[in-house]
Structure 1
Protein backbone atom coordinates (compact mmCIF):
# COMPACT_ATOMS: atom_id res chain seq x y z
CA UNK A 1 0.00 0.00 0.00
CA UNK A 2 0.97 3.61 -0.45
CA UNK A 3 1.36 5.76 2.66
CA UNK A 4 -1.95 7.45 1.92
CA UNK A 5 -3.67 4.07 1.57
CA UNK A 6 -2.24 2.98 4.92
CA UNK A 7 -3.65 6.10 6.54
CA UNK A 8 -7.10 5.52 5.08
CA UNK A 9 -6.97 1.93 6.35
CA UNK A 10 -6.75 3.44 9.86
CA UNK A 11 -9.56 5.94 9.30
CA UNK A 12 -11.98 6.84 12.08
CA UNK A 13 -14.55 9.32 10.74
CA UNK A 14 -15.88 10.28 14.16
CA UNK A 15 -12.35 11.09 15.29
CA UNK A 16 -11.85 13.14 12.12
CA UNK A 17 -14.94 15.19 13.03
CA UNK A 18 -13.61 15.70 16.55
CA UNK A 19 -10.09 16.61 15.42
CA UNK A 20 -11.32 19.08 12.82
CA UNK A 21 -13.08 21.04 15.56
CA UNK A 22 -9.79 21.39 17.42
CA UNK A 23 -7.97 22.66 14.33
CA UNK A 24 -10.42 25.19 12.84
CA UNK A 25 -7.91 26.67 10.38
CA UNK A 26 -7.92 23.46 8.31
CA UNK A 27 -10.75 22.26 6.07
CA UNK A 28 -12.72 19.27 7.39
CA UNK A 29 -12.25 17.54 4.03
CA UNK A 30 -8.52 17.17 4.69
CA UNK A 31 -9.00 15.08 7.86
CA UNK A 32 -8.75 11.32 7.37
CA UNK A 33 -9.20 10.58 11.07
CA UNK A 34 -6.13 8.63 12.22
CA UNK A 35 -5.52 8.71 15.96
CA UNK A 36 -2.15 10.00 17.13
CA UNK A 37 -0.98 6.70 18.76
CA UNK A 38 -1.55 4.97 15.43
CA UNK A 39 0.34 7.70 13.60
CA UNK A 40 3.25 7.33 16.02
CA UNK A 41 3.27 3.56 15.52
CA UNK A 42 3.29 3.98 11.74
CA UNK A 43 6.06 6.60 11.90
CA UNK A 44 8.24 4.34 14.04
CA UNK A 45 7.73 1.44 11.68
CA UNK A 46 8.51 3.53 8.62
CA UNK A 47 11.53 5.06 10.34
CA UNK A 48 13.06 1.71 11.28
CA UNK A 49 12.52 -0.24 8.06
CA UNK A 50 15.78 -0.77 6.20
CA UNK A 51 14.41 -2.43 3.09
CA UNK A 52 15.29 -0.38 0.02
CA UNK A 53 11.72 -0.31 -1.27
CA UNK A 54 10.36 1.00 2.03
CA UNK A 55 13.15 3.55 2.33
CA UNK A 56 12.30 4.84 -1.12
CA UNK A 57 8.62 4.98 -0.20
CA UNK A 58 9.43 7.00 2.92
CA UNK A 59 11.69 9.34 0.97
CA UNK A 60 9.10 9.82 -1.77
CA UNK A 61 6.44 10.60 0.83
CA UNK A 62 8.58 13.22 2.56
CA UNK A 63 9.45 14.88 -0.72
CA UNK A 64 5.84 14.97 -1.93
CA UNK A 65 5.02 18.42 -0.57
CA UNK A 66 2.50 19.83 -0.10
CA UNK A 67 0.51 16.88 1.19
CA UNK A 68 -3.23 16.63 0.56
CA UNK A 69 -4.33 15.58 4.04
CA UNK A 70 -3.89 16.81 7.61
CA UNK A 71 -3.01 13.27 8.72
CA UNK A 72 -0.19 13.13 6.14
CA UNK A 73 1.26 16.29 7.64
CA UNK A 74 1.00 14.83 11.13
CA UNK A 75 2.80 11.71 9.96
CA UNK A 76 5.45 13.82 8.25
CA UNK A 77 6.15 15.65 11.53
CA UNK A 78 6.47 12.35 13.38
CA UNK A 79 8.80 10.93 10.72
CA UNK A 80 11.08 13.95 11.13
CA UNK A 81 11.17 13.32 14.89
CA UNK A 82 12.56 9.84 14.12
CA UNK A 83 15.62 11.22 12.29
CA UNK A 84 18.75 10.63 14.40
CA UNK A 85 21.24 12.69 12.40
CA UNK A 86 21.15 16.37 13.42
CA UNK A 87 22.09 17.86 10.05
CA UNK A 88 19.63 15.65 8.19
CA UNK A 89 16.96 16.51 10.72
CA UNK A 90 17.50 20.26 10.33
CA UNK A 91 17.27 19.91 6.56
CA UNK A 92 14.01 17.98 6.90
CA UNK A 93 12.59 20.53 9.35
CA UNK A 94 13.48 23.45 7.09
CA UNK A 95 11.97 21.72 4.06
CA UNK A 96 8.71 21.04 5.90
CA UNK A 97 8.12 24.20 7.97
CA UNK A 98 6.81 26.32 5.05
CA UNK A 99 4.03 23.77 4.47
CA UNK A 100 2.74 23.65 8.06
CA UNK A 101 -0.66 25.33 8.24
CA UNK A 102 -1.91 24.57 11.75
CA UNK A 103 -0.86 24.45 15.40
CA UNK A 104 -1.25 20.67 15.85
CA UNK A 105 1.20 19.67 13.11
CA UNK A 106 3.61 22.34 14.36
CA UNK A 107 3.47 21.30 18.00
CA UNK A 108 3.91 17.56 17.37
CA UNK A 109 7.07 18.16 15.32
CA UNK A 110 9.88 18.58 17.91
CA UNK A 111 12.61 16.03 17.00
CA UNK A 112 14.17 13.89 19.72
CA UNK A 113 17.71 14.49 18.45
CA UNK A 114 17.43 18.13 19.56
CA UNK A 115 17.74 17.06 23.21
CA UNK A 116 21.30 15.89 22.51
CA UNK A 117 22.39 18.86 20.39
CA UNK A 118 21.52 21.98 22.38
CA UNK A 119 24.54 23.98 21.26
CA UNK A 120 23.83 23.42 17.59
CA UNK A 121 20.09 23.82 18.04
CA UNK A 122 20.52 27.20 19.70
CA UNK A 123 22.21 28.49 16.54
CA UNK A 124 19.12 27.63 14.49
CA UNK A 125 16.41 29.02 16.77
CA UNK A 126 16.82 32.79 16.09
CA UNK A 127 16.21 32.42 12.36
CA UNK A 128 13.04 30.39 12.99
CA UNK A 129 11.74 32.90 15.53
CA UNK A 130 12.60 35.73 13.17
CA UNK A 131 10.56 34.26 10.33
CA UNK A 132 7.45 36.03 9.05
CA UNK A 133 5.77 32.64 8.56
CA UNK A 134 3.36 31.91 11.40
CA UNK A 135 4.26 28.31 12.13
CA UNK A 136 7.98 28.66 11.51
CA UNK A 137 8.03 31.41 14.13
CA UNK A 138 5.83 29.38 16.48
CA UNK A 139 8.10 26.35 16.09
CA UNK A 140 11.19 28.41 16.96
CA UNK A 141 9.58 29.77 20.12
CA UNK A 142 8.48 26.28 21.10
CA UNK A 143 12.05 24.96 20.68
CA UNK A 144 13.37 27.76 22.90
CA UNK A 145 10.70 26.97 25.50
CA UNK A 146 11.28 23.23 25.39
CA UNK A 147 15.06 23.19 25.53
CA UNK A 148 16.33 26.44 27.05
CA UNK A 149 14.31 27.27 30.16
CA UNK A 150 16.04 24.76 32.43
CA UNK A 151 19.75 24.01 32.93
CA UNK A 152 20.81 25.75 29.71
CA UNK A 153 18.82 28.91 30.43
CA UNK A 154 20.29 32.39 30.02
CA UNK A 155 18.23 35.56 30.69
CA UNK A 156 19.04 36.95 27.25
CA UNK A 157 17.04 34.15 25.63
CA UNK A 158 13.85 35.85 26.84
CA UNK A 159 14.47 38.70 24.41
CA UNK A 160 13.90 36.50 21.36
CA UNK A 161 10.15 35.88 21.87
CA UNK A 162 9.70 39.32 23.45
CA UNK A 163 10.78 40.90 20.17
CA UNK A 164 8.29 38.96 18.04
CA UNK A 165 5.69 41.28 16.52
CA UNK A 166 3.77 38.99 14.18
CA UNK A 167 0.10 39.81 14.65
CA UNK A 168 -0.98 36.19 14.35
CA UNK A 169 -3.09 34.46 17.00
CA UNK A 170 -1.07 31.22 17.02
CA UNK A 171 2.20 33.15 17.38
CA UNK A 172 0.95 35.42 20.16
CA UNK A 173 -0.48 32.41 21.97
CA UNK A 174 2.90 30.65 21.79
CA UNK A 175 4.66 33.75 23.12
CA UNK A 176 2.23 33.78 26.05
CA UNK A 177 2.77 30.06 26.61
CA UNK A 178 6.53 30.63 26.52
CA UNK A 179 6.45 33.40 29.13
CA UNK A 180 4.01 31.55 31.38
CA UNK A 181 6.38 28.58 31.33
CA UNK A 182 9.36 30.88 31.90
CA UNK A 183 7.62 32.35 34.95
CA UNK A 184 7.28 28.84 36.38
CA UNK A 185 10.90 27.93 35.71
CA UNK A 186 12.79 31.25 35.80
CA UNK A 187 10.60 33.62 37.80
CA UNK A 188 13.22 36.18 38.78
CA UNK A 189 14.48 36.73 35.24
CA UNK A 190 11.02 36.65 33.65
CA UNK A 191 8.68 38.70 35.84
CA UNK A 192 10.32 42.06 34.85
CA UNK A 193 8.95 41.51 31.33
CA UNK A 194 5.49 41.90 32.82
CA UNK A 195 6.39 44.55 35.36
CA UNK A 196 7.93 46.70 32.63
CA UNK A 197 5.24 46.01 29.99
CA UNK A 198 7.61 44.49 27.44
CA UNK A 199 4.89 42.42 25.78
CA UNK A 200 1.81 43.48 23.84
CA UNK A 201 -1.25 43.98 26.04
CA UNK A 202 -3.03 40.85 24.74
CA UNK A 203 0.08 38.69 25.15
CA UNK A 204 0.81 40.26 28.54
CA UNK A 205 -2.65 39.40 29.89
CA UNK A 206 -2.72 35.97 28.26
CA UNK A 207 0.64 35.18 29.88
CA UNK A 208 -0.79 36.04 33.29
CA UNK A 209 -3.91 33.97 32.62
CA UNK A 210 -1.92 30.91 31.60
CA UNK A 211 0.49 31.32 34.51
CA UNK A 212 -2.40 31.56 36.98
CA UNK A 213 -3.79 28.30 35.56
CA UNK A 214 -0.47 26.54 36.18
CA UNK A 215 0.13 24.33 39.20
CA UNK A 216 3.82 25.28 38.99
CA UNK A 217 3.13 28.89 40.00
CA UNK A 218 2.70 29.48 43.75
CA UNK A 219 -0.40 31.09 45.21
CA UNK A 220 1.57 34.20 46.21
CA UNK A 221 3.03 34.50 42.71
CA UNK A 222 -0.44 34.21 41.18
CA UNK A 223 -1.76 37.01 43.40
CA UNK A 224 1.17 39.20 42.38
CA UNK A 225 0.61 38.48 38.69
CA UNK A 226 -3.08 39.33 38.93
CA UNK A 227 -2.04 42.78 40.11
CA UNK A 228 -0.02 43.24 36.92
CA UNK A 229 -2.96 42.77 34.55
CA UNK A 230 -3.39 45.58 32.05
CA UNK A 231 -6.69 47.20 31.10
CA UNK A 232 -7.64 49.25 28.06
CA UNK A 233 -6.03 52.29 29.61
CA UNK A 234 -2.69 50.54 29.23
CA UNK A 235 -3.05 50.43 25.44
CA UNK A 236 -0.02 52.70 25.11
CA UNK A 237 2.06 49.72 26.10
CA UNK A 238 0.57 47.45 23.42
CA UNK A 239 3.30 46.59 20.93
CA UNK A 240 1.13 44.19 18.91
Structure 2
Protein backbone atom coordinates (compact mmCIF):
# COMPACT_ATOMS: atom_id res chain seq x y z
CA UNK A 1 0.00 0.00 0.00
CA UNK A 2 1.08 3.58 -0.56
CA UNK A 3 0.86 6.12 2.25
CA UNK A 4 -2.59 7.39 1.36
CA UNK A 5 -3.92 3.83 1.26
CA UNK A 6 -2.37 3.16 4.68
CA UNK A 7 -4.21 6.16 6.08
CA UNK A 8 -7.52 5.04 4.60
CA UNK A 9 -6.98 1.57 6.10
CA UNK A 10 -6.97 3.25 9.53
CA UNK A 11 -10.24 5.13 8.97
CA UNK A 12 -12.72 5.70 11.79
CA UNK A 13 -15.71 7.55 10.33
CA UNK A 14 -17.12 8.70 13.68
CA UNK A 15 -13.74 10.15 14.59
CA UNK A 16 -13.66 12.03 11.28
CA UNK A 17 -16.96 13.65 12.22
CA UNK A 18 -15.57 14.60 15.62
CA UNK A 19 -12.31 15.95 14.20
CA UNK A 20 -14.16 18.02 11.59
CA UNK A 21 -16.21 19.62 14.37
CA UNK A 22 -12.98 20.84 16.04
CA UNK A 23 -11.56 22.33 12.85
CA UNK A 24 -14.49 24.05 11.11
CA UNK A 25 -12.25 25.84 8.61
CA UNK A 26 -11.77 22.57 6.69
CA UNK A 27 -14.62 20.81 4.81
CA UNK A 28 -15.74 17.49 6.31
CA UNK A 29 -14.91 15.65 3.07
CA UNK A 30 -11.21 16.35 3.63
CA UNK A 31 -11.09 14.28 6.84
CA UNK A 32 -10.34 10.57 6.52
CA UNK A 33 -10.79 9.90 10.22
CA UNK A 34 -7.51 8.61 11.63
CA UNK A 35 -6.73 8.98 15.32
CA UNK A 36 -3.54 10.87 16.17
CA UNK A 37 -1.82 7.92 17.92
CA UNK A 38 -2.28 5.88 14.74
CA UNK A 39 -0.78 8.68 12.62
CA UNK A 40 2.15 8.92 15.05
CA UNK A 41 2.71 5.17 14.79
CA UNK A 42 2.69 5.38 11.00
CA UNK A 43 5.12 8.32 11.12
CA UNK A 44 7.53 6.30 13.28
CA UNK A 45 7.35 3.42 10.83
CA UNK A 46 8.01 5.65 7.82
CA UNK A 47 10.62 8.02 9.31
CA UNK A 48 13.80 8.14 7.24
CA UNK A 49 12.44 5.92 4.46
CA UNK A 50 12.50 6.61 0.74
CA UNK A 51 8.71 6.48 0.80
CA UNK A 52 8.63 9.24 3.43
CA UNK A 53 11.05 11.39 1.43
CA UNK A 54 8.84 11.08 -1.65
CA UNK A 55 5.75 11.89 0.41
CA UNK A 56 7.39 15.06 1.77
CA UNK A 57 8.05 16.18 -1.80
CA UNK A 58 4.46 15.55 -2.88
CA UNK A 59 2.81 18.85 -1.97
CA UNK A 60 0.07 19.89 -1.66
CA UNK A 61 -1.79 17.04 -0.01
CA UNK A 62 -5.55 16.64 -0.16
CA UNK A 63 -6.49 15.27 3.25
CA UNK A 64 -6.08 16.62 6.76
CA UNK A 65 -4.43 13.39 7.93
CA UNK A 66 -1.85 13.61 5.15
CA UNK A 67 -0.86 17.02 6.44
CA UNK A 68 -0.72 15.74 10.03
CA UNK A 69 1.55 12.90 8.92
CA UNK A 70 3.67 15.35 6.95
CA UNK A 71 4.19 17.51 10.01
CA UNK A 72 5.10 14.51 12.19
CA UNK A 73 7.62 13.27 9.62
CA UNK A 74 9.26 16.70 9.56
CA UNK A 75 9.30 16.76 13.36
CA UNK A 76 11.37 13.57 13.37
CA UNK A 77 14.03 14.82 10.95
CA UNK A 78 17.57 14.77 12.36
CA UNK A 79 19.38 17.15 10.02
CA UNK A 80 18.71 20.80 10.89
CA UNK A 81 19.30 22.26 7.42
CA UNK A 82 17.11 19.66 5.74
CA UNK A 83 14.45 20.13 8.42
CA UNK A 84 14.32 23.91 7.93
CA UNK A 85 13.97 23.42 4.16
CA UNK A 86 11.14 20.95 4.72
CA UNK A 87 9.39 23.31 7.15
CA UNK A 88 9.66 26.22 4.73
CA UNK A 89 8.27 24.07 1.91
CA UNK A 90 5.35 22.87 4.04
CA UNK A 91 4.23 25.99 5.92
CA UNK A 92 2.48 27.64 2.93
CA UNK A 93 0.16 24.62 2.81
CA UNK A 94 -0.67 24.50 6.53
CA UNK A 95 -4.29 25.61 6.78
CA UNK A 96 -5.38 24.83 10.34
CA UNK A 97 -4.27 25.16 13.96
CA UNK A 98 -4.02 21.42 14.64
CA UNK A 99 -1.48 20.69 11.91
CA UNK A 100 0.40 23.87 12.78
CA UNK A 101 0.66 23.00 16.46
CA UNK A 102 1.69 19.39 15.79
CA UNK A 103 4.73 20.55 13.80
CA UNK A 104 7.49 20.43 16.43
CA UNK A 105 10.94 19.45 15.12
CA UNK A 106 13.11 17.99 17.87
CA UNK A 107 16.30 19.09 16.10
CA UNK A 108 15.45 22.75 16.80
CA UNK A 109 16.51 22.37 20.42
CA UNK A 110 20.15 21.86 19.39
CA UNK A 111 20.26 24.76 16.89
CA UNK A 112 18.80 27.71 18.78
CA UNK A 113 21.19 30.37 17.49
CA UNK A 114 20.25 29.68 13.88
CA UNK A 115 16.63 29.05 14.80
CA UNK A 116 16.07 32.52 16.26
CA UNK A 117 16.57 34.15 12.87
CA UNK A 118 14.03 31.81 11.30
CA UNK A 119 11.57 32.49 14.13
CA UNK A 120 11.75 36.21 13.41
CA UNK A 121 11.17 35.51 9.72
CA UNK A 122 8.20 33.19 10.30
CA UNK A 123 6.63 35.48 12.91
CA UNK A 124 6.70 38.39 10.48
CA UNK A 125 4.83 36.42 7.81
CA UNK A 126 1.41 37.55 6.61
CA UNK A 127 0.39 33.87 6.43
CA UNK A 128 -1.64 32.94 9.50
CA UNK A 129 -0.08 29.59 10.28
CA UNK A 130 3.47 30.54 9.33
CA UNK A 131 3.23 33.40 11.82
CA UNK A 132 1.59 31.19 14.45
CA UNK A 133 4.29 28.54 14.01
CA UNK A 134 7.06 31.09 14.47
CA UNK A 135 5.53 32.41 17.68
CA UNK A 136 4.98 28.92 19.03
CA UNK A 137 8.65 28.04 18.45
CA UNK A 138 9.66 31.24 20.26
CA UNK A 139 7.45 30.22 23.17
CA UNK A 140 8.86 26.68 23.18
CA UNK A 141 12.57 27.48 23.07
CA UNK A 142 13.17 31.04 24.25
CA UNK A 143 11.26 31.62 27.48
CA UNK A 144 13.63 29.85 29.85
CA UNK A 145 17.44 29.68 29.96
CA UNK A 146 17.82 31.38 26.58
CA UNK A 147 15.36 34.16 27.35
CA UNK A 148 16.12 37.81 26.66
CA UNK A 149 13.56 40.56 27.39
CA UNK A 150 13.77 41.84 23.81
CA UNK A 151 12.27 38.57 22.59
CA UNK A 152 8.92 39.79 23.94
CA UNK A 153 9.01 42.44 21.22
CA UNK A 154 8.60 39.74 18.55
CA UNK A 155 4.96 38.85 19.31
CA UNK A 156 4.15 42.47 20.13
CA UNK A 157 5.38 43.52 16.69
CA UNK A 158 2.89 41.21 14.97
CA UNK A 159 -0.03 43.08 13.44
CA UNK A 160 -2.86 40.69 12.63
CA UNK A 161 -6.62 40.53 13.01
CA UNK A 162 -6.60 36.76 12.56
CA UNK A 163 -8.08 34.84 15.50
CA UNK A 164 -5.48 32.06 15.42
CA UNK A 165 -2.58 34.51 15.43
CA UNK A 166 -4.03 36.64 18.22
CA UNK A 167 -4.82 33.56 20.28
CA UNK A 168 -1.21 32.41 19.84
CA UNK A 169 0.05 35.81 21.04
CA UNK A 170 -2.20 35.54 24.11
CA UNK A 171 -0.98 31.98 24.76
CA UNK A 172 2.63 33.14 24.36
CA UNK A 173 2.17 35.98 26.85
CA UNK A 174 0.38 33.79 29.39
CA UNK A 175 3.30 31.35 29.21
CA UNK A 176 5.79 34.21 29.43
CA UNK A 177 4.04 35.48 32.56
CA UNK A 178 4.50 32.05 34.12
CA UNK A 179 8.17 31.83 33.20
CA UNK A 180 9.35 35.46 33.03
CA UNK A 181 6.89 37.42 35.15
CA UNK A 182 8.88 40.60 35.80
CA UNK A 183 9.79 41.21 32.17
CA UNK A 184 6.36 40.31 30.81
CA UNK A 185 3.89 41.95 33.18
CA UNK A 186 5.19 45.40 32.22
CA UNK A 187 3.74 44.95 28.73
CA UNK A 188 0.30 44.46 30.24
CA UNK A 189 0.75 47.33 32.69
CA UNK A 190 1.69 49.62 29.80
CA UNK A 191 -1.28 48.38 27.71
CA UNK A 192 0.79 47.72 24.59
CA UNK A 193 -1.61 45.14 23.16
CA UNK A 194 -5.04 45.47 21.59
CA UNK A 195 -7.82 45.01 24.14
CA UNK A 196 -8.90 41.53 23.01
CA UNK A 197 -5.39 40.03 23.08
CA UNK A 198 -4.57 41.84 26.34
CA UNK A 199 -7.62 40.41 28.09
CA UNK A 200 -7.23 36.95 26.56
CA UNK A 201 -3.62 36.78 27.79
CA UNK A 202 -4.80 37.68 31.28
CA UNK A 203 -7.59 35.09 31.11
CA UNK A 204 -5.22 32.31 30.03
CA UNK A 205 -2.65 33.30 32.65
CA UNK A 206 -5.29 33.29 35.40
CA UNK A 207 -6.33 29.79 34.29
CA UNK A 208 -2.74 28.55 34.56
CA UNK A 209 -1.53 26.49 37.52
CA UNK A 210 1.92 28.01 37.03
CA UNK A 211 0.73 31.48 38.07
CA UNK A 212 0.48 32.20 41.81
CA UNK A 213 -2.80 33.28 43.36
CA UNK A 214 -1.29 36.65 44.21
CA UNK A 215 -0.22 37.14 40.59
CA UNK A 216 -3.68 36.14 39.39
CA UNK A 217 -5.29 38.73 41.63
CA UNK A 218 -2.94 41.41 40.33
CA UNK A 219 -3.63 40.43 36.72
CA UNK A 220 -7.34 40.82 37.41
CA UNK A 221 -6.73 44.49 38.18
CA UNK A 222 -5.06 44.94 34.76
CA UNK A 223 -8.07 43.74 32.78
CA UNK A 224 -9.37 46.33 30.33
Q: Does 1:116 align with 2:110?
A: yes
User: Residue in 2 aligned with 1:233?
Assistant: none
**Matches of 1:123 and 1:39, distance apart in 2:** 31
Alpha-carbon shift at residue 169 of structure 1 (Å): 0.3
Give the CA deviation at 1:44: 1.0
How far apart, CA to CA, are the structure 1 residues paired with 2:109 and 2:35? Answer: 26
Deviations 1:66-94 (A, max 9, x none): 11100000000000011100000000000
Partner of 1:78: 72
Match of 1:155 in 2: 149
Does 1:33 pair with 2:45?
no
- SS of the residue corresponding to residue 197 of structure 2 reads helix
Among candidates 196, 200, 216, match of residue 222 of structure 1:
216
- Match of 1:113, SS state, is helix
In 2, Cα distance between equivalents of 1:72 and 1:126: 28
Distance 1:42 1:163 in 2: 39
String of CA shifts for 1:117-146, please: whole Å, max 9, x gaps.
111111211000000000000000000000
Tell me the TM-score normalised to structure 1 length. Answer: 0.92
- Equivalent runs, 1:111-150 vs 2, <5 Å: 111-150=105-144
Query: Structure 1: which 5+ residue stretches go unaligned?
Result: 50-54, 231-240
Structure 2 unmatched runs, 5+ = none
Displacement of 1:30? 0.5
Runs of 4+ aligned structure 1 residues displaced above 3 Å come to: none
2:197 maps to which residue?
203
Match of 1:65 in 2: 59
Corresponding residue SS for 1:191: helix
State the distance in 2 between where 1:115 and 1:167 align. Answer: 30
1:208 to partner: Cα distance = 0.3
Residue 87 (structure 1) aligns with: 81
| Number of equivalent positions | 224
CA RMSD of aligned residues (A): 0.7
Question: Residue 191 in 1 paired to residue 185 in 2?
Answer: yes
- Where does residue 18 of structure 2 map in the other structure? 18
